[in-house]
Structure 1
């Protein structure tokens, strides 16, 4: 009963919507184009006619007038046909025709059923006599069928048919429940069998149970849709087995069957476009596979592309793939359903506006990422400094660049910031000599400069990682108030361990100066203490002890 009430509610809403469109559409279309007489006549004929329906079967249409609207006239004819059909159980009907001033009157078993007028004949574009005969034949068949559907034999047959449909629906429910249980038992085993290697390769990051749950959800949803369709058609066929409910059954079948048939017809009519879309997809995939083979050959060194660096291979392939896909979309859009509609065009404009207004930073980072990838100042594995961050480049993405700091921290820097900042690259070789490392110490004026320079060069020569040639050299950077600032410079090609090299250099400077009893004045100096802060003999003993321990370890 609830289904029937819903069906009637939907029918009433459709009728109201049709009436609103019929009333409002002419005023809207009048602003765009002049109304043609043929269209107005068609609209008028659609409004002023109504069907005569008996037991869900449409017999014919009747025209209305201002005095007697079409729905009221059709209802009177329906009631007259039903009244005659219920008055007798005879398998035959006596149909008679009488000519009157208004038209041809049709009688059934002596009861006036309808009058076929000239307007009705004009509506159907037929002769009045022919149309009257057709109406009479339809009325006779409807009465005979109405009486036949209400005999005891027909009711027993309808009950048997309803029981048969009920039994079939019960079998259908059992099959659905069996499939539901089987899906629960077999899905996990099936998915595990196919994803065992994937779980091993991804260290169980891809869980077979999660995939199985998704598969079960999809299959159960399909079963739910099938169950709903089965119940819907079962209810419709049961109602169709009895004459009293056949009209509602036909309404239910119409509401579901017509949309499904329209969908299937649309799919069938859309097959040529689907073939074209499949062809475009196949050509696109073939081109992408060909590009993958080419770029793999470039990466392997089979093709020599001059200055094209290997770390450009994957980004270039990704960019080329996106370009090919965009070109394919341009060719495929005309074959997509609804692509020529105003709604689709408005949606594309809305999406474009949203992307242009809300993705400025994203686009800037993407463009900056392209420049970072293809400019030669930064490569994967380089030790670079960006602002306060120092680290090795481990990955250059389209949106950001990842650094691994010397403390093994992962630093993510947006590519726009990388483009707008000063980047110091410790790994790139400019003249072949390597990176010039330096540090500064302040030594008092009383010490001979030649001696200080020799000690600093000695400390640099003791430091592993600083090259012997070109030789280290010393610069005088400042004549301060209490000391001369000496800067020791040495070349190194090991940019990845600069902090370690500088630490060793500082250690060796302190060791050499203590060995020669020279006081380092940095950072500040007031006066010489009565005794050295670090006696030379203590330092020599400490060094000898460390050397002895190192020898024992070795």
Structure 2
């Protein structure tokens, strides 16, 4: 902090030197109101305005008057000054201690719109007071008072810095303790891993930023008051105070002038928040089942609430827009147009997914918990968002599907059945032409009955899928209401088909057939209508 103070002092000292030199070389910039004129400034105080004439610009004329005033003021330490006024051809000449200071012309009187003699009297009085004030401010008494004044402000600033340092250390310690104590209770109650040190550091950073801003503001005003203590630097101090105080006052006054609009914005925000809170309570009651709205499904509650809330917020923004600071300015309107253009050009895919999400949510084809197949992806719906839908695959993978793809793709839903019978699970096997068709159908139906998850009513049935080159393709079909475990059901069905065909000595020709094995493939005897496991069962019953 001491290092920052030293840097600030050096910067302000450099600024003071440059401004003081600028004051000596140029009295002031011309003030143009249709007439070329310039002010006469002494010790930072504007005395009067002078008009430019042919061959004598206003700036040059004011600078010469300033130099003559300094010359007379520094020539003596007397507490009196002899002011004389002499009328000549071009106007009144004003002299101070015998030195010609200024000639007041008829053009100057026309500029001020008063009588020439009266204007000369006014200028003479102002010149006298300025010279006496210049001498008084540079007397030994004035310098001693300025030194005491500067010392008092230095002590006050030292106390201000010390108290600020103590306050900073106290707040940092206090905030760290409070954050650790409160978050320790949160961690024990929620078992959440909260980084108390990070939160405390963030709060400390905000407090330190505020304190540092106050400190630099104190440094600024401290240096300004120190410069005010001495006549040579008073002009610079006035400039410094003007650069900061005037903008601050403008901000404060602007804030008070804006209070009616601020109250309006607060009312709009409060009403909007109250309505949203009431809607939240209503939708929570609908989700809990306290209210029933026709065919309104529960998984529509959250997206519907979000849509209604977004609409209410947009309506509130429309009402609040005229009361936002700077909303009538061309810069603000141009910024809103730019933001709108960026959103319209860069959010085509976003809006496509967003609108598709609404169709996905409300068209009832997919619900959370359903097992669906989208393209090559098979899984359970775990979350439906406005932009995307999340699936949990049978391999426990989390798959994110954009809603636009979900809307434009064919979706197979294994959890929702077309009728009460359920879903048809089917698979195809190729069996040689030499096997009796009734026997093959009976074996396939037996394999379906052995499979857990397949229904016996309606009964499984077999379709002839195709007459291929080397085999007949049989398709076994069976109903199930357990769409979530179809991969497991199919796996069990395939295993049971293989077991039944092996028990009965029937060769499966799928997936391809190349040549006959050494043993003849032609059936040795017609099929008697019984399967191998049925024969063994009947023999056991006869033995019993």
TMscore range, shorter length: 0.7 to 0.9
- Which residue, out of 437, 441, 445, partners 2:429? 441
The 2-side partners of 1:10 and 1:107 are apart by 29
Structure 2: gaps spanning 5 or more residues = 1-9, 522-531, 534-544
- C-alpha change, 1:250 and 1:356, in structure 2 (3 Å) is same
* RMSD (Å), alpha carbons: 2.6
The 2-side partners of 1:277 and 1:206 are apart by 35
My pick for the range that moved more, 242-251 or 51-60, is 51-60
- Which residue, out of 383, 394, 406, partners 1:418? 406
Question: Corresponding residue for 1:382?
Answer: 370
What TM-score do you get using the length of structure 1 for normalisation? 0.86
- Which residue, out of 23, 33, 45, partners 1:57? 45
CA positional deviation for 1:8: 8.1
The 1-side partners of 2:48 and 2:187 are apart by 68
- C-alpha change, 1:361 and 1:66, in structure 2 (3 Å) is farther
The 1-side partners of 2:251 and 2:16 are apart by 20
- Which residue, out of 64, 79, 88, partners 2:67? 79
- Pair 1:262-2:250 in alignment: yes
My pick for the range that moved more, 154-163 or 460-469, is 460-469
Question: Corresponding residue for 1:43?
Answer: 33
8 Å CA contact 1:199, 1:207 repeated in 2: no
The 2-side partners of 1:437 and 1:326 are apart by 50
Question: Corresponding residue for 1:33?
Answer: none
CA positional deviation for 1:190: 2.2
Question: Corresponding residue for 2:527?
Answer: none
1:98-177 to structure 2, matched below 5 A, reads 98-177=86-165
The 2-side partners of 1:19 and 1:145 are apart by 24
SS at 1:404 equivalent: strand
Question: Corresponding residue for 1:2?
Answer: 11
Question: Corresponding residue for 2:389?
Answer: 401
Question: Corresponding residue for 1:240?
Answer: 228
- C-alpha change, 1:197 and 1:383, in structure 2 (3 Å) is farther
- C-alpha change, 1:122 and 1:313, in structure 2 (3 Å) is farther
8 Å CA contact 1:281, 1:328 repeated in 2: yes
The 2-side partners of 1:124 and 1:470 are apart by 113
The 2-side partners of 1:272 and 1:67 are apart by 55
- C-alpha change, 1:436 and 1:410, in structure 2 (3 Å) is same
CA positional deviation for 1:10: 9.1
Structure 1: gaps spanning 5 or more residues = 23-41, 533-538, 541-554
- C-alpha change, 1:249 and 1:69, in structure 2 (3 Å) is same
CA positional deviation for 1:215: 1.4
SS at 1:270 equivalent: helix
The 1-side partners of 2:115 and 2:452 are apart by 115
- Pair 1:473-2:473 in alignment: no
CA positional deviation for 1:89: 2.2
CA positional deviation for 1:102: 2.3
Question: Corresponding residue for 2:214?
Answer: 226
CA positional deviation for 1:201: 6.7
The 2-side partners of 1:66 and 1:360 are apart by 69
- C-alpha change, 1:169 and 1:531, in structure 2 (3 Å) is farther
What TM-score do you get using the length of structure 2 for normalisation? 0.87
